[in-house]
Chain A
């Protein structure tokens, strides 16, 4: 008898848990009805990175201005993991009813499906792009106490003869690809040290353990200003507005550019009229001076692109990753 009631109680607990799980699962997919007055309810914006990261911060600066244009709330939903692909998978699975959109980040999006190890079957073509928001160019910073090299030129010369360790935010990240491209172009011996994030890499260079900090302008600006790190090079086609005195790689003889782009997209299949509304609203918000100033204060350079221009940019990004796939050791 006692044993029975024990089992019963356990069963009840299990049932209870399952019931809650079922409750959570339901209702995620609303029926895609025809909706003349779009948007008429809050829009979810999936950010595939954790709250407080660069993408999240940029999204939270921009979205209030979009809310003003659309007249409905835009909720940020952070879905970190899988180098961004947890959120992107969810975005692609969502109903294309215009009420779920999300940030897409390059080149992480591309490396995520071009790397055959992951066996992903979705590509950039499965997204209906809205607009690009941020274009954050790569940058190289060193420890201010570094004596072996003081500027970009010296660093590159030194690296041709000696192994120089360099941080990355992971295999296939823009930092990693930049390192490989520079090595290929100049015959330098940069050795990537993969870390879990920019903060870890920064601490490693500040502590003098890793020689160079490969990151983005948005990540080196604050430590450069505070004197924790010294930025010596920018991987942009021309000098960065944040670092007018610091040379580009091109000036130093390596025709290498690198960037991380962040924009918005909806799942493919969205009603073109709805997409048009979204593009118009985001365009107005992104061109708002106040928004631009707030982004610049964070070291994030806004770069609005839409339609054909944005698609071409993404396709170029994809091509760029394919070009280095042999350097990354990907076998098809």
Chain B
């Protein structure tokens, strides 16, 4: 498989990366991502959605490197507040809080931070390397993907909504249906009929994805934060002593957990839609199952932190694989990243690895570097970053509102998109208040139109014999098998969770 990597493009990576703009973008992405992640309420998805508009004018390598760096750094940053103040900065770090905060209470907070930093770094790094190795051959196969495969992949992705809906299946599915409905807005590409456009030309291309996501993820979150503004008491951060660095023995103890969780993370990342929040719980439960001392989990056990953190960072690289090769986002954050890619005029698929190979490989290598930087920067600043959790919402909220408006406008120079953002902000707010799942809406918006187009194109392509057409295509058959497995997986996951008696936190918008 290594042969398929475009080495000539890889050789040019250094010169593309060694520009001041790219290096600055990397650093800003890592530090900014850690801070965004550490702020409870600001998630990786939201950070990327807010910063996409900033990347318009940037060189594509710099822009995309920054976005991917923010993604993985924010996932790591979420563990800092989870460990020190028992408030997961992102839903993906909910499992980290269980053992992390216990360690802080025992005065081993710095050690817990060190564990999470090392695990996140290694998890991210393994996934970034997986991205480099797996994406090019997959991109090659991408030409074999056509209407039937896209239809099936979209259906497969839609099954993941079931696993996003951890609180209430009905609400999860309802959110998905709402997203599907939103996805039908716009000109029907097979007949040219304008559906649900109400006479607005701006709606003929469908509801603009990025503004809708900024509304659902960012604006709605601001409203929720503002509500809670006066409820929060003073945050007390325990005294931090000792060293963040692990001893060799400690590292050896968690090494097995780290690589196992990394692989789980990558696999869950590749699945369309499923992100870090799911991966961290699955890995946590798996680590517990494999552990010789399962009773220690939840009492401040380093393996617990390592499992959750390695896997949620491993999700990032995994989730980028289907994004770059097929244009199918592997997680909610990569759904937003898709927008960042398209804005640069880069279409996912084989061209990314041929025509635009120089850019693509530079971004992938940049992503590897970002993960290393997380380790270095994290060890240096983690203990101070937690202070940002105390920034009052009164300062943060207006900044986010401004960025949301500017960002939505800038994408298509369209005021209409700003209105869409605001409307979806309110929709997102009420959904969150009532326990519906905003991530499911976004997934269904993207996958719904993909499924429709794929299905209707394949009707034409099959020339009258749909069933035979689908079953004559090997990749289609593989995906159909995956769909059946995917449908069974929530049931299996529930069984795992019940067995270990762990309640999944009420999550959802993110990874």
Q: Point out residues on A near B: beta carbons under 8 Å.
A: 2, 5-6, 9-10, 13, 16-17, 20-21, 24-25, 50-52, 77-83, 85-86, 89, 115, 117-119, 163, 165, 170-172, 191-196, 199, 203-204, 206-207, 209-210
Do A81 and B227 form a contact, CB below 8 Å, given A13-B222, A172-B192, A193-B457?
Answer: no
Give, as a whole number of angstroms, the nearest-CB distance from B197 to chain A: 8
- The chain A residue sitting closest to B189, CB to CB, is A194
Cα A79 to Cα B205 in complex, Å, equals: 11
Q: Which residues, 404 to 426 on B, are CB-close (under 8 Å) to A?
A: 405, 409, 412-415, 418-419, 422
* Pairs A-B, 10 closest by C-beta atoms: A171-B192, A52-B345, A82-B204, A209-B146, A82-B201, A207-B143, A81-B205, A85-B201, A9-B226, A86-B201
Contact at B143–A206, with CB atoms within 8 Å?
A: yes
Contact at B405–A86, with CB atoms within 8 Å?
A: no
Contact at A21–B187, with CB atoms within 8 Å?
A: no
Q: Which of A20, A77, A172 contacts B401 (CB 8 A)?
A: A20
Q: Which of A16, A50, A119 contacts B199 (CB 8 A)?
A: A119
Contact at B414–A9, with CB atoms within 8 Å?
A: no
- The chain A residue sitting closest to B459, CB to CB, is A193
Cα A51 to Cα B231 in complex, Å, equals: 46
Q: Point out residues on B near A: beta carbons under 8 Å.
A: 142-147, 187, 189-194, 199, 201-205, 219, 222-223, 226-227, 229-231, 343, 345, 347, 349-351, 397-398, 401-402, 405, 409, 412-415, 418-419, 422, 453, 457, 460-461, 463
Cα A115 to Cα B463 in complex, Å, equals: 27
Contact at B190–A5, with CB atoms within 8 Å?
A: no
Cα A203 to Cα B144 in complex, Å, equals: 9
- The chain B residue sitting closest to A20, CB to CB, is B405
Contact at B414–A86, with CB atoms within 8 Å?
A: yes
Contacts of A117 in B (CB 8 A): 192-194
Contact at B460–A191, with CB atoms within 8 Å?
A: yes
Contact at B189–A196, with CB atoms within 8 Å?
A: yes
Contacts of B402 in A (CB 8 A): 20
Contact at A203–B412, with CB atoms within 8 Å?
A: no
| Secondary structure type dominating chain B contacts | helix
Cα A77 to Cα B415 in complex, Å, equals: 13
Contacts of B351 in A (CB 8 A): 199
Cα A246 to Cα B59 in complex, Å, equals: 39
Contacts of B409 in A (CB 8 A): 24
Contact at B418–A24, with CB atoms within 8 Å?
A: yes
Cα A172 to Cα B189 in complex, Å, equals: 10
Do A83 and B187 form a contact, CB below 8 Å, given A193-B460, A207-B143?
Answer: yes
Contacts of B422 in A (CB 8 A): 17, 21
Would you give 14 A-B contacts (Cβ < 8 Å), ordered by A?
Answer: A2-B231, A6-B229, A9-B227, A17-B401, A17-B422, A21-B418, A51-B343, A78-B412, A81-B414, A85-B201, A85-B204, A117-B194, A172-B192, A203-B349
Q: Which of B191, B223, B409, B413 has the most CB of A within 10 A?
A: B413
Contacts of B343 in A (CB 8 A): 51
Cα A125 to Cα B102 in complex, Å, equals: 74
Contacts of B397 in A (CB 8 A): 13
Cα A78 to Cα B397 in complex, Å, equals: 30
